[in-house]
Amino acid sequence: MQTRLFIGNEWREATSGATLEVVNPATEELLATVHAAGEADVDAAVTAARACFESDPWRAFSGRKRGALLHRAAQLLHERGDELAEMETRQNGKPLFESKIDVASTVETLTYYAGWADKLAGDVLPVDGPDFVFTQREPIGVVGAIVPWNFPLNLASWKVAPALAVGCTVVLKPAPETPLTALALAEIMLEAGFPPGAINVIPGDGPTTGAALVRHPGVDKIAFTGSTPVGRQVMRDAAGTLKRVTLELGGKSPNIVFADADLKAAVRGAQTGIFYGKGEVCAAGSRLLVERSVHDHVVEELVARAAKLAPGDPFDKDTRIGALASRRQFDKVMSYVEAGKREAKLVTGGTATKVNGKGYFVEATVFDDAEPGMKIVEEEIFGPVLAVLTFDDVDEAVQLANRTIYGLAAGVWTKDIKKAFTVARAVRAGTVWVNSYNLYDSAAPFGGFKGSGFGRDLGREALDGYTDVKTVWVGLR
């Protein structure tokens, strides 16, 4: 297990000697003491990334060669899949089966962008006149990637893979709670054969390490996933050097169940929408909007299912709810549970628990009779806590769905195709799942409307975030 900074293909100790402690949230045990990058280390990492980006060897790397390295990294990651999944579960607290999905999806993302590396082409433009005008896409330069602790490895790949594919170089700052799989990714990139400085990994906290990366004049673009308040701060800090910024922020996503839906499927979708990943999922379906005539039935069925989801040892194959990622997140979630008990009607869960006497576990929790204006309806909780609201018709459903500062995702459950398309079109969200929830694919762009940020991870669209367009005029007059 690596615990040092990865800069210029070398493992280095933090200049200041600063460290951070990585704790297993299910056992409260210390997992590792990891070096924490200070300003001097951030500068060293950016310098290494810059030198690589501007070096003749990296410039000479064809897209096909970069693609081959990404393919090799995907293969190596796949070979270490079990080990990485266990590492992810130990540092994040999520059930092992979820970590295995994360690893498989990371392999897929690396493979997907390996495929794009030699397929980025420009256009020849039909200008008025004899001149020959074409565009080409060029890598933006040095990318600072800042990722959170909920999908540590997977979200790192969402940024690292497209950035490297197009020829950018990267400084990745993982969350202080979960740096271990990002360091393992560095190990894999090294073994795959990326040259020094192409990818650097510098664990550290937000205010010190993250902010230094955002402000650094040698960084051309920040790709950020995290909370909306920090997203605002990142934008402010990036303004000084006019960096490009893409922000994938929080959400309060509506999951809308119409009376004519396949209710069994809808209840299952409501369950995974909020309880998968312990609800520490940016796209979590944290507001369940149910049509009045089926409300009682849907809530009853959901409560019956949720009551069976006892938090358990993340390494137990039957566990569906693991430990929240940190003490801090646990405290935050429990404060919302207390607010919910004052504001709405608790119908299941609502209690903190321990497994084998330890850990930051919270029961699958459902609040009924929730209304706009309540804290549990307005604010991102980022835990296994659902607010159920009721509506009477399509218009009201859409109004409630859009009554939020966020716009990351939404679900709509109905057998009526017209209703499904009408709502999918009317909801202001970056992703709408029809008769499904929480589906992802490397080919499908993901990101926010409104307060959920801008720019897209995944898909062809993500490549736009790591390239600038150059227009070349060849005068023929």
Active site residues: 248, 282
Termini Cα distance of the chain: 63
Part of the chain binding ligand NAI (CB under 6 A), chosen from 170-178, 187-195, 291-299, 358-366? 170-178
Buried b (16+ CB within 10 A) or exposed e, 139-148: bbbbbbbbbb
Beta bridge partners of 390: 290
In the bound state with ligand NAI, the residue whose beta carbon lies nearer, of 297 and 328, is 328
DSSP calls for 268-282 = HHHHHHHHGGGG--T
177 φ, ψ to 5°?
Answer: -70, -25
Half-sphere exposure of 63 (CA within 13 A, CB side): 16
- Give residues with Cβ within 8 angstroms of 282, minimum separation 6: 150, 225, 248, 249, 250, 251, 408, 452
Nearest distance in Å: CB 277, ligand NAI: 10
| Interface pick for ligand NAI out of 234, 355, 385, 462 (rule CB under 6 A) | 234
- Look at residue 472 and give its three-state secondary structure: strand
Q: Is 227 in the site for ligand NAI (CB under 6 A)?
A: yes
The pattern of x and - marking residues 319 through 348 that bind ligand NAI according to CB under 6 A reads ----------x--x----------------
| Interface pick for ligand NAI out of 210, 269, 312, 411 (rule CB under 6 A) | 210
**Strand 365-368 with 345-348, pairing:** antiparallel
| Interface pick for ligand NAI out of 38, 197, 250, 407 (rule CB under 6 A) | 250
CA 129 to each of CA 55, 136, 193, 239, 300: distance values in angstroms, whole numbers, following the listed order: 38, 20, 47, 39, 69
Q: Is 240 in the site for ligand NAI (CB under 6 A)?
A: no
Residue nearest to ligand NAI (CB): 206
Q: Is 233 in the site for ligand NAI (CB under 6 A)?
A: yes
Q: Is 207 in the site for ligand NAI (CB under 6 A)?
A: yes
Task: Give CA–CA dist 312/314, Å, rounded.
Answer: 6
Q: Is 286 in the site for ligand NAI (CB under 6 A)?
A: no
The pattern of x and - marking residues 398 through 427 that bind ligand NAI according to CB under 6 A reads ------------------------------
- Give residues with Cβ within 8 angstroms of 76, minimum separation 6: 188, 191, 192
| Interface pick for ligand NAI out of 25, 38, 93, 148 (rule CB under 6 A) | 148
The pattern of x and - marking residues 187 through 206 that bind ligand NAI according to CB under 6 A reads ------------------xx
Q: Which residues contact ligand NAI (rule: CB under 6 A)?
A: 146-150, 173, 175-176, 205-207, 210-211, 214, 225-227, 230, 233-234, 249-250, 282, 329, 332, 380, 382
